[in-house]
Structure 1
Amino acid sequence: MNLQKSMCLVTAFIFSLSSIGYARAEETGLLNDIKPPQQASEYIFRSSQKESLITVQLMGAVNKPGIYYVPQNTDLLKLITLAGGSTTAGDVSEVLVRKQEPKSWDEVKSKAINEYQGAYEVNAEKIIKYGGARQLKLAQDDFVYVPQKSTWVSGEATKTITVVSLVAGIVLTGLLIQKNSDHK
């Protein structure tokens, strides 16, 4: 009987070590896919050689962030489309636009746009659904930022939940092993 209990304890110990190793690898990011850092690039879009271009910066959670040289009549949604759209983590309901000349959007009347001292928060989902993108023309040196969606649980809370569930799993496994070994 002592041999069985010893084997159960050794098994529980080995299981706990492997679980801790897994949690540690997850915490340090060793289990994540290795991705190269996202770097900004320059993109040029024009329909003809004679078309004059403006420079616009697009950063944040888009597939191709960078500096864009686009025609003067380019609107916000077209710019995001040229960038391959938002990433899965991108929140297009809170796109931030810093205009060099904020008065250019003063006459735009839309419930999808909120103005804060020359910066605009644009709900691109509403613009797509209800229209009005043509009014949101970009100008030279405008800056557009697509934020990431906010998470419900912070990174610290996730780590705490992982550790607590790991410890609970180890304790419950030990109890099950002990219970099953006592019945035999």
Structure 2
Amino acid sequence: MVGTGIGHDITAVLDEKGSNTIVLNDYYESEVDSYQSGKIRYPFDDLEEGVHTLKLQVWDVNNNPGEAYTEFVVANDEQFALDHILNYPNPFTTNTDFYFEHNKPGLSLDVRIEVFTVSGKLVKTIDGKYLNDGFRVGPINWNGRDDFGDNLARGVYLYKLNVKTPLGEHAEHYEKLVILK
């Protein structure tokens, strides 16, 4: 049950402006057979392009408050964008997971992650198709092995994230990862 006490609504504050406080009670949907988790789906309209912040505050049935913060990017509808690209853990010894955010929810994305040595030799390619109703993709797990199944040596590697939409849009981004063995 949400919004059961005075001042105990689910609220969001956009861009740290108290005048942008939004009551989200009507947008909350609990997970099936769970009283501990759920989803909030709220349509933000007419946001300016650029980086925005959102602070979410909720209350449990024992009057304990909880807060969460997130940052997101609004891009032109014509422009496919990637953000918050990372692998975790980094550095890693045996396995790591790749994550990223994008601005095209509801589309099936073709994802390719290519891992290179610092000298530019391609050692691993990970391909997959991902359909999300949200903006985040991951985890995409990698066991630290090359395309032949051999363990890679410890050291610094580069990876290229390449993402394509069914509409022909594509974006790519480079990051570093470290293997410790």
Same fold (TM over 0.5): no
Relative to its length, the structure with more helix (as a share) is 1
The structure carrying a bigger strand percent of its residues is: 2
Q: In which range does the TM-score fall when normalised by the shorter chain?
A: under 0.3
- Which structure has more relative contact order (CA 8 Å, sep 6+)? It is 1
| TM-score (normalizing by structure 1) | 0.27
User: Which protein shows a greater Rg?
Assistant: 1
